[in-house]
Chain A
Amino acid sequence: MAETPKSPRRRPRGGYIGEAWLVILLAILYGGALAAVQTSLSGRIEQNKRDQTYDAIPQLVPGADKAKTQQRLVTGEDGKESLVYEAIGADGALKGWVIPASGQGFSDRIDLVIGVNASVSQITGLYVLEQKETPGLGDYIRSESFRDRFRGKPTDRPLVVVKSEPADPHEVRAISGATISSESVAAIVNQAIGNLKGPIGRLAAGGGAAAATR
């Protein structure tokens, strides 16, 4: 193209709108289409995220009914408000609590939900919502065989990760080849239970008068 060097800023023929009208029109149309998609699907996507926690509740707390489970806000020992789930059985009795917890793993954040019994004295289940640990090694934290190692552990003292068969009830056996991922999970569990054990115990004793119910 023969460009005239004297007028490098010459307006294009038809003006800028004449050049760019298609881009502008498409941007508006596509924007509208995306807004429509987002509006129609966002409810379902949010529901999927909630269901993920709710679907895990019956295996986290034995006897719990996910339809009767309620969300509660409790103020932890660290002074921050945390969301917990009050797991209620089909008979209306309190079966236990589900505590969402997260922390740093080997490669990225790990999101867990921890099930504990009604008096918060024992862990009844563990479920991994989100993790990006090494495939084939650290991602075994999702496996049932690893999560089962936490079931029935007492909460009076922090859990310790060991590399051999546990000799003490407070010990949890690590996944071989993924000690850091195993320790991260145990640390997240210890931190969450240490933070919320007292407040949840008081909430259970006080019948929930101090907490906001949703």
Chain B
Amino acid sequence: MERDGPTALERFLNGILPENPTYRQLLGMCPTLAVTGAMQPALTMVGATAFVLIASNVMTSLLRGLLKPHLRILVFTLTIATFVTIADRFLAAYMYSMSKQLGPYVPLIIVNCIIISRAEICASKQGVGVAVADGVGMSLGFGLGLASIATVREILGSGTWFGLRVLPTSWVGWGIMVLPPGAFVTLGMLIGAVEWASRVQPHTGIWRTARSLWSWRRLASSS
């Protein structure tokens, strides 16, 4: 076992909310803005990124004893580029229309900073188990980030969610939400909301009530 560094469970949980790639680390902004016009492309992007992230974490962790400090970034990039190309070819072979819809953003996973940062921060320093947990946690966090933005944009922009109509047909889609400005506006609003929620958390009634409910057993026993 590794002597230092966070445990697998800590790595896994950190990726989901406390160090969420989208809202906390603000990494991987290019796909976050580009493919969140609807849920289907957003989740396909999450799936492809998760595959590359977990595979590159495993590979980097296995190679960590052989890495030379000045050549490590080169090894990370080679590894990531290989898995991205595999993901890209796989999408083109089995999900052709989605592959065309995502266009250049699948090859661009190579430059997604979430992946290289996890190789640098976690996988090149810790064992395979921790690296996998880290990759899965970060992928879930990235998925939450993209899904939240895509939900807002698809519902307001097209009145649908996953291509299924959720708002009445009388709803006129806000075209701007599907266009790039909608991505920036939604991302900014959601980052603001997450920031606000985490700051006011200890002081507001709603959060205190939620926390009380969470530990109602303890409260009941103490009173």
Binding site for B on A (CB under 8 A): 19-20, 22-23, 26-27, 30, 33-34, 37-38, 41-42, 44-45, 48-49, 52, 130, 132, 134-137
A137 (CB) vs chain B CBs: closest residue:
B175
8 A Cβ contacts from B157-179 to A: 157, 173, 175, 178-179
Listed A/B pairs (14) with beta-carbon separation below 8 Å: A22-B75, A23-B71, A23-B75, A26-B78, A34-B86, A37-B85, A38-B89, A41-B89, A130-B100, A135-B178, A135-B179, A136-B173, A136-B179, A137-B175
Question: Are the C-beta atoms of A37 and B89 separated by less than 8 Å?
Answer: yes
Question: Are the C-beta atoms of B82 and A33 separated by less than 8 Å?
Answer: yes
**Alpha-carbon distance A49/B93, docked complex (angstroms):** 10
What distance in Å separates the Cβ of B178 from its nearest Cβ neighbour in chain A? Answer: 5
Binds A, one of B8-16, B60-68, B204-212: B60-68
**Alpha-carbon distance A48/B175, docked complex (angstroms):** 31
A25 (CB) vs chain B CBs: closest residue:
B66
What distance in Å separates the Cβ of A182 from its nearest Cβ neighbour in chain B? Answer: 17
Question: Are the C-beta atoms of A44 and B175 separated by less than 8 Å?
Answer: no
The answer to whether the Cβ of B216 comes within 8 Å of any Cβ in the partner chain is no
B100 (CB) vs chain A CBs: closest residue:
A130
Question: Are the C-beta atoms of A34 and B179 separated by less than 8 Å?
Answer: no
**Alpha-carbon distance A156/B82, docked complex (angstroms):** 53
Number of interface residues of B (CB under 8 A): 27
**Alpha-carbon distance A149/B67, docked complex (angstroms):** 62
Question: Are the C-beta atoms of B75 and A26 separated by less than 8 Å?
Answer: yes
B37 (CB) vs chain A CBs: closest residue:
A135
What distance in Å separates the Cβ of B87 from its nearest Cβ neighbour in chain A? Answer: 10
Name B's interface SS.
Answer: helix
The answer to whether the Cβ of B79 comes within 8 Å of any Cβ in the partner chain is yes
Question: Are the C-beta atoms of A45 and B66 separated by less than 8 Å?
Answer: no
Instruction: Select one of B63, B71, B89 contacting A20, CB under 8 A.
Output: B71
B81 (CB) vs chain A CBs: closest residue:
A30
Knowing A22-B66, A22-B71, A136-B175, the reply to whether A37 touches B78 (Cβ < 8 A) is no
Question: Are the C-beta atoms of B179 and A30 separated by less than 8 Å?
Answer: no
What distance in Å separates the Cβ of B72 from its nearest Cβ neighbour in chain A? Answer: 10
The answer to whether the Cβ of B26 comes within 8 Å of any Cβ in the partner chain is no
Knowing A30-B78, A134-B179, the reply to whether A41 touches B100 (Cβ < 8 A) is no
Question: Are the C-beta atoms of A22 and B86 separated by less than 8 Å?
Answer: no
What distance in Å separates the Cβ of B56 from its nearest Cβ neighbour in chain A? Answer: 11
The answer to whether the Cβ of B213 comes within 8 Å of any Cβ in the partner chain is no
**Alpha-carbon distance A134/B176, docked complex (angstroms):** 11
**Alpha-carbon distance A20/B37, docked complex (angstroms):** 43
Contacts of A130 in B (CB 8 A): 100
8 A Cβ contacts from B67-105 to A: 67-68, 71, 74-75, 78-79, 81-82, 85-86, 89-90, 92-94, 96, 100, 103
Contacts of B90 in A (CB 8 A): 37, 41
Question: Are the C-beta atoms of A45 and B92 separated by less than 8 Å?
Answer: yes
What distance in Å separates the Cβ of A107 from its nearest Cβ neighbour in chain B? Answer: 12
**Alpha-carbon distance A22/B85, docked complex (angstroms):** 20
Question: Are the C-beta atoms of B175 and A22 separated by less than 8 Å?
Answer: no
Question: Are the C-beta atoms of A30 and B157 separated by less than 8 Å?
Answer: no
Contacts of A19 in B (CB 8 A): 68, 71
Question: Are the C-beta atoms of A48 and B75 separated by less than 8 Å?
Answer: no
8 A Cβ contacts from B135-183 to A: 157, 173, 175, 178-179
Contacts of A135 in B (CB 8 A): 37, 178-179
**Alpha-carbon distance A44/B96, docked complex (angstroms):** 10
Beyond known contacts A26-B63, A30-B82, A132-B103: 15 more, CB 8 A cutoff: A20-B71, A22-B63, A22-B75, A23-B78, A30-B81, A33-B86, A37-B89, A37-B90, A41-B93, A45-B96, A48-B92, A48-B93, A136-B173, A136-B175, A136-B179
